[in-house]
Amino acid sequence: MTEPASPRVFSRILVALDSTQASRSALESAALLAEALQYELVGLFVEDSDLVALASLPFSREVRRSGAIRDIDPTVLQRDVEAHASAARHALRQAAVRRNLRWSFRSVRGDVDAVITAAAAEVDIVCVSRRGAGRYRRAPMGSPARVALDRQAPVLVAGQLTDRIEKPVAVIIDQAESGQASVRLAGRIAAKAKTGLIVLEFLPLEADIAEVRARIESELPGGVTARYVLLSREDPCGLLDGLRRDDYSLVLYGVRADQPSPAWLDYVADAGDCPLLLVPETG
């Protein structure tokens, strides 16, 4: 008999940083989750090697907003990149110090997706912006989010968060025999953040609700009590409405490598500003 895979021990959250608002939102989401779980916050700034190589070509030109065209100076470009990296490090440090977190920062030159994907193998949760997450059902095999999930690392899709996790944490259960890892992690986050846990039951009609709930209760840490909300699988609007109303601080969902993600997951990821934590399920 094959022994079940040992559960991962989570300790670090990786967030890729740049100068965009989407990156700042990802940093805040990652920092808030790191605070709730007391994980190390790991920042990564990638100097795009393709952009640097392009700037060194003699025919490279820059079109400014005014319409003026000028040569790209590689030295000036490198100074700009270094300034952005310094600003990213400063933002990471501020976010970590504000929450009394351990933190580390790296600036690496290379292909953006390849560097983030390689770094994802060295951490336990990867935070991506909504802009960079893509559609999970159709994410390319080499994308950082897809690779992280394949390696059994949860992926946090950033949203807009307040200064702390105060609203309940929610976990979506859509199959009677799945969701153990996402339930365990949701319970752990709720316990650490001292907030409520809501189980959104998005189950098929033939599911044994009592059996599903008994299994969920067996996965929760001591002191955590779940509240159950039974939703119609035929109509995901009830699920989406709760996300749009910002009823939750964070929503977790378990994904399996051997099964396609449901079509409605794309809409969940886009509904409201609530962060979505995708958790790999095994077994």
Residue type at position 205: L
CATH number at 12-57+70-150: 3.40.50.12370
What is the model's pLDDT at position 114? 82
What is the model's pLDDT at position 50? 59
What is the model's pLDDT at position 77? 66
Tell me how far apart the alpha carbons of residues 186 and 112 are, in angstroms, rounded to a whole number.
30
Report pTM. Answer: 0.78
What is the model's pLDDT at position 239? 73
Say if 12-57+70-150 and 165-281 have the same CATH topology.
yes
Q: How buried is residue 64: exposed, middle or buried, by Cβ count under 10 Å (0-12/13-18/19+)?
A: exposed
Contact 248, 198 (CB under 8 A): yes
DSSP tag of 39: P
Third-level CATH fold of 165-281: Rossmann fold (3.40.50)
Radius of gyration, alpha carbons of the chain: 21
Q: Tokens at residue 121, please? A: 């193998």
How high is the mean pLDDT in each 10-residue block of the chain (283 residues)?
48 88 86 91 84 54 46 69 91 95 92 82 82 49 64 75 78 84 93 92 85 92 91 73 76 82 72 79 75
Q: Tokens at residue 25, please? A: 């939102």
What is the model's pLDDT at position 55? 55
Tell me how far apart the alpha carbons of residues 107 and 121 are, in angstroms, rounded to a whole number.
17
What is the model's pLDDT at position 140? 44
Contacts of 224 (CB under 8 A, 6+ apart): 187, 190, 191, 197
How long, in residues, is the chain?
A: 283
Q: Give the residue extent of every domain in the chain.
A: 12-57+70-150, 165-281
What is the model's pLDDT at position 263? 73
Tell me how far apart the alpha carbons of residues 114 and 132 are, in angstroms, rounded to a whole number.
14
Tell me how far apart the alpha carbons of residues 190 and 114 are, in angstroms, rounded to a whole number.
33
